[in-house]
Chains A and B, each alone.
Chain A
Amino acid sequence: MNGNSSSRPSRPSRPRKPAPPRRRVGPERPPVEDPARLAALDTLRAVRQRDAYANLVLPKLLRERRITGRDAALATELAYGSARAQGLLDAVIGACSDRALSDVDGLLLDALRLGAYQLLRTRIPAHAAVASTVDLVRGGQGSGAAGFVNAVLRRITQQDEAAWIDELAPDPDTDPIGHVALANAHPRWIAQAFAEALGSRDEPLREALAADDSRPEVHLAARPGEVSAEELAAMTGGEVAPYSPYGVHLESGSGDPGDLDPLREHLAVVQDEGSQLCAVALSKVPVEGTDERWLDMCAGPGGKAVMLGALAAMNGGTLDAIELAPHRAELVRKATKGLPITVHIGDARETDLPEGGFDRVLVDAPCTGLGALRRRPEARWRRQPSDVAPLTRLQRELLTKALKLVRPGGVVAYVVCSPHLSETVGIVADVARRTGAERLDTKEFFPGVPDLTDPHNVQLWPHLHGTDAMFCALLRRPPEE
């Protein structure tokens, strides 16, 4: 065989000049290795497209994708932060885009919000925030979209959050509420409702909105009779809560509290300290005569039912719990395992439980949830002023029914996680007048809690008490003559 084959390429005498890098065609690109930002983006999309709850979607995504540690913390900060600040972010994005926001594709808008949040409200360097967001978009939507996102985000980087607020928010002299609302990323109507409840449009309002806009601590409630707050704090590394005898605070971002041993063993539940205080207050009011049958009229998902059930059990009593939605009733059953509780599925307004049959009744009424916006990142932008009226009708009917279910001399707690006056003072004053119920000195049953002004109605606030903005009023059915 002739080894000198002509098909063999001859070696060039000089090394070839390196070719210029090939230009990429189309959107094809290796997948972006940024699991945290991708999870945050997918959460924002689920919230926008399916009306999902961010705080249900994200933990599930993190578990499925095995995202833990720093990546999980980043994903949480970005997803919840972007959802919480959405109105403010949209105002800035709108000012930096040559298209109207309504013309921007939803997926791009999610990405822009994610990028804008990083630029305005985190310490992530601007170049990293822009590049990572553009990469996410390029991976999903192609280079045209990426160019648009890049341009908008670069315009946003030209000023910081304070400067954008100065430029975009209403004039504080002519519209103080509008100004403080945008500056703290709240819809104007919610800021207005807070102002009315606080009786102030000045510093207290600003503090309330700022506290409402911050990441809350996780609050745990120790199950009475099972474990003390001190023990729970020692087991979880948390701090004993300042007001609730059963409360423990955990730093936010310290992982999924559901993984903690005491929670898995049903020794404690996740519950805002304000909720604990309301349930405890109901249990503390002295009643004459029997004190055996307690009732929780709107029990799902079961946090207060656990607290009340455990307190009732220590007293030798029992708790009946009503819940309308079957799946939530199931949650109540699970949460209260081992306690003397009977769970009923149905509408509490039409229950056939005996009227006058209960010594203590809790009405934790469905409400707008304006007091718990810290814990529901997207809720403030989803709620509408028109949600208030139908809820107040329901609240009035539930409280009226509660005063029938309780025996003469027994006590009712009316609780909502909202400071909106129509849902709080308005309901209680009206129902008390029509039923002749006695309004008790509610403040007295929140011992040690500062800054309570109205004796009949307790309104807690994030900026004053570190709790959700819970409202509680205690009423007594007049003893029969």
Chain B
Amino acid sequence: MRLVFAGTPEPALPSLRAFIESSRHEVVAVVTRPDAPAGRGRHLERSPVGALADEHGIEVLTPAKASDPDFQARLRELAPDACPVVAYGALLPQSALDIPVHGWVNLHFSLLPAWRGAAPVQAAVRNGDDIVGASTFRIVKPLDAGPVFGTVTEEARPRDTAGELLARFAERGAGLLVATIDGIEDGTLRAVEQPAEGITYAPKISVEDARLDFTAPALAVDRLARAVTPDPGAWAEFRGERLKLGPVTPVTPGSDRAPQEKLAPGELLVQRKQVLVGTATTPVALGDVQAPGKKRMAATDWARGVRVEAGERIS
């Protein structure tokens, strides 16, 4: 089929690669978010999807809005049979949805109707979902509400961060998305309406949301830290400054690593091989730590450097 692929960040790349390598389909153009300022120099940078398309000499469309008439005119000229979408990052108006013969087919990183919205993987980690997955569905106007073609699932691993999970499903989802487009072309695939029950939403996580709250139970602190790793990254305040934190590890009560004394929420305890922080339940051990203007380092090195005093807290 003639495809126009829409996507923007890294997790869209395995799918785009799979279509470029596919012998059945031809990617005639990609649609991606406009070049954005990046890095210290704030120079304009192509999105990962745009860059990969450039490498393969594929036309790149970067409309500021998908409702832009010039963009839609070009899309009509390209006459795609279908438009696969992975994390494009902008809304599609009905006038754009109507252009491809078989519509727009989205790879979404959740088991729909769970976690509609921008941050499904983060929401799954934060909520401790047992089964995680990805779905392909036909895009309709309401957000992530279209009928589902197929899913891939697996059991969540207890130490997964959102970044790791997303990387895994970006690969597995690419296979699903290609299979979905194949099935649509063959006429062997029928989409199934999403159930009305079990709809949940997963809004984008802001930097403010990524602040760890040590008055919560260790389980919740651990899940939030993994959900916001690597992006936007967990943090807390120490001596009035923002301290970035890698994932944390809950300490099993009664294990060798468990401290003798009870720690108050946020209270730091520096030991030879670990730095513990109190929560509402059992303490958590800090992983990597990054102070403003410093490199990432192991929490024990950081604690030695700043000379944490007895009873000091992070919050």
How far apart sit A347 and B47, CA to CA, in the bound complex (Å)?
51
Q: How far is the CA of A231 from the CA of B144 in the complex (A)?
A: 9
| Chain B residues with CB below 8 A from A251, complex form | 206, 208
Interface of B is mostly: loop
- Do residues B204 and A264 form an inter-chain contact, with CB atoms below 8 A? no
CB pair A267–B203 under 8 Å, yes or no, is no
Assuming A228-B142, A265-B65, A265-B67, is B203 touching A238 (CB within 8 A)? yes
Report yes or no: A254 in contact with B201, Cβ–Cβ below 8 A: no
A230 touches B201 (CB 8 A): yes
CB distance from B95 to the nearest CB of A (A): 11
B90 at interface, CB cutoff 8 A: yes
| Minimum CB distance partner of A239 in chain B | B203
Q: Is the CB of B206 within 8 A of A261?
A: no
In the complex, how many angstroms separate the beta carbon of A314 from the nearest chain B beta carbon? Answer: 15
Q: Is A236 an interface residue (CB 8 A)?
A: yes
B203 touches A236 (CB 8 A): yes
Residue pair A264, B65 in contact (C-beta under 8 Å)? yes
B69 lies within 8 A of chain A by Cβ? no
Give residues of chain A (260-277) contacting chain B, Cβ–Cβ below 8 Å.
Answer: 261-262, 264-265, 267
B118 at the interface (CB under 8 A from A): yes
Q: Which residues of A contact B203 (CB under 8 A)?
A: 233-238
Chain B residue nearest in CB terms to A251 = B208
Cβ-based interface call for B205 (8 A): yes
The contact string, 1 if C-beta is below 8 Å from chain B, for chain A 81-107, is 000000000000000000000000000
Q: Determine the residue in chain A with the shortest Cβ distance to B37.
A: A68
Q: How many residues of B contact A (CB 8 A)?
A: 21
- Asked whether A237 and B142 contact (CB < 8 A) given A265-B91, A265-B93, A267-B91, the answer is no
In the complex, the answer to whether A261 meets B90 with C-beta atoms within 8 Å is yes
**Interchain CB contact under 8 A, B206 and A254:** yes
In the bound complex, how far is the Cα of B140 from the Cα of A227, in angstroms? 12
The reply on B44 being an interface residue by CB < 8 A is no
Q: How far is it, in angstroms, between the C-alpha of A261 and the C-alpha of B117 when the chains are bound?
A: 13
Distance A233 CA – B204 CA, assembled complex (angstroms)? 9
**Interface contact B91-A261, CB-CB below 8 Å:** yes
User: B202 at interface (Cβ–Cβ under 8 A)?
Assistant: yes
Question: Chain A contacts of B204 at CB under 8 A?
Answer: 236-237
Decide if B116 is an interface residue (CB 8 Å cutoff). Answer: yes
A184-240, CB < 8 A from B: 226-228, 230-231, 233-238
Within 8 A of A (CB), among B119-136: none
Q: Are A231 and B206 in contact (CB under 8 A)?
A: no
**For the complex, is B143 an interface residue (Cβ under 8 Å from A)?**
yes
By beta carbon, the residue of chain B nearest A265 is B91
Contact partner of B142 among A227, A236, A262, A265, CB < 8 A? A227
Task: Establish whether residues A262 and B116, one from each chain, have CB atoms under 8 Å apart when the complex forms.
Answer: no
Q: Which of A227, A234, A262, A265 contacts B201 (CB 8 A)?
A: A234
Taking the closest CB of chain A, its distance from the CB of B202, in whole angstroms, is 6
Alpha-carbon separation in the docked complex, A66 to B116 (Å):
34
Bound-state Cα–Cα, A230 to B115, Å: 11
Minimum CB–CB distance for A256 against chain B, Å:
15
Cβ of B227 to closest chain A Cβ, rounded Å:
14
Per-residue interface assignment for chain B, residues 62 to 87, with 1 indicating a CB less than 8 Å from any chain A CB and 0 otherwise: 00010100000000000000000000
Closest CB of chain A to B287's CB: distance in Å?
A: 26
- If A261-B91, A265-B67 touch, does A234 touch B116 (CB 8 Å cutoff)? yes
Chain A residue at smallest Cβ distance from B120? A234
Task: Kindly provide the distance from the CB of A217 to the nearest chain B CB, expressed in whole angstroms.
Answer: 12
B93 to chain A: closest CB distance in Å? 7
Q: Report yes or no: A235 in contact with B93, Cβ–Cβ below 8 A.
A: no
A233–B93 CA distance with the chains assembled, in angstroms = 18
B118 touches A235 (CB 8 A): yes
Partner among B118, B141, B143, B199 whose Cβ is within 8 Å of the Cβ of A237: B118
Smallest distance from the beta carbon of A258 to chain B beta carbons, Å?
13
How far is it, in angstroms, between the C-alpha of A262 and the C-alpha of B67 when the chains are bound?
12
Contact across chains for B142 and A233 when beta carbons are under 8 A apart: no
Chain B residues near A264 (CB-CB < 8 A) = 65
B-side contacts of A230, CB under 8 Å: 199, 201
Contact B143–A234 (Cβ < 8 Å): yes
- With the chains together, A265 CA to B208 CA distance in Å? 26
Chain B min CB distance to A313 (Å): 16
Q: Given A227-B143, A264-B65, are A235 and B208 neighbors across the interface (CB < 8 Å)?
A: no
| Contact partners of B209 in chain A: CB under 8 A | 237
CA–CA, A271 and B144, complex, Å: 25
Do A237 and B91 touch (CB < 8 A)? no
When C-beta atoms are compared, the residue in chain B nearest to A264 turns out to be: B65
Which B-chain residue is minimally distant from A250 (CB atoms)?
A: B206
CA distance A251 to B204 in the complex (A): 13
Residues of A within 8 A of B201 (CB): 230-231, 233-234
How far does the alpha carbon of A236 sit from the alpha carbon of B65 in the complex, in Å?
Answer: 16
Q: Is the CB of A237 within 8 A of B206?
A: yes
Given contacts A227-B143, A267-B91, contact A235 B206 (CB under 8 A): no
| CB pair B116 A231 closer than 8 Å | yes
Could you tell me which residues of chain B, from 192 to 214, have a CB within 8 Å of some CB in chain A?
Answer: 199, 201-206, 208-209
Q: Which residues of B contact A265 (CB under 8 A)?
A: 65, 67, 91, 93
CB distance from A243 to the nearest CB of B (A): 19
Closest to A254 in B: B206
How many whole Å from A433's CB to the nearest CB in chain B?
48
CA distance in complex: A251, B211 (Å): 15
- List chain B residues, Cβ under 8 A from A254: 206, 208
Most A CB contacts (10 A, CB to CB) among B117, B203, B205 go to: B203
Q: A153 to chain B: closest CB distance in Å?
A: 22
Give Cα distance in the complex from A231 to B202, angstroms. Answer: 9
* Distance in Å: Cβ of A215 to nearest Cβ of chain B: 14
Name A123's closest neighbour in chain B (CB-CB). Answer: B240
B241 vs chain A, min Cβ distance (A): 12
A122 vs B141: C-alpha distance when bound (angstroms): 44
Q: Which residues of B contact A226 (CB under 8 A)?
A: 141
Please report the C-alpha to C-alpha distance between residue A227 and residue B143 in the assembled complex, in whole angstroms.
8
Q: Which residues from B are CB-within-8-Å of A234?
A: 116-118, 143-144, 201-203
In the docked arrangement, what's the CA distance between A264 and B206, Å? 20
Report the bound CA distance from A411 to B85 in whole Å. 48
A–B Cβ pairs within 8 angstroms, 19 of them:
A227-B143, A231-B116, A231-B142, A231-B143, A231-B201, A234-B117, A234-B118, A234-B144, A234-B202, A234-B203, A235-B91, A235-B143, A237-B118, A237-B206, A237-B209, A254-B206, A254-B208, A265-B65, A265-B91
The 3 A-B pairs at the shortest CB distance, nearest first, are namely A234-B117, A234-B201, A231-B143
Q: A234-B118, A234-B202, A237-B204 are in contact. List 20 more A-B contacts (CB 8 A).
A: A226-B141, A227-B142, A228-B142, A230-B199, A231-B117, A231-B142, A231-B143, A231-B201, A234-B116, A234-B144, A234-B203, A235-B117, A236-B203, A237-B205, A237-B209, A254-B208, A261-B90, A264-B65, A265-B91, A265-B93
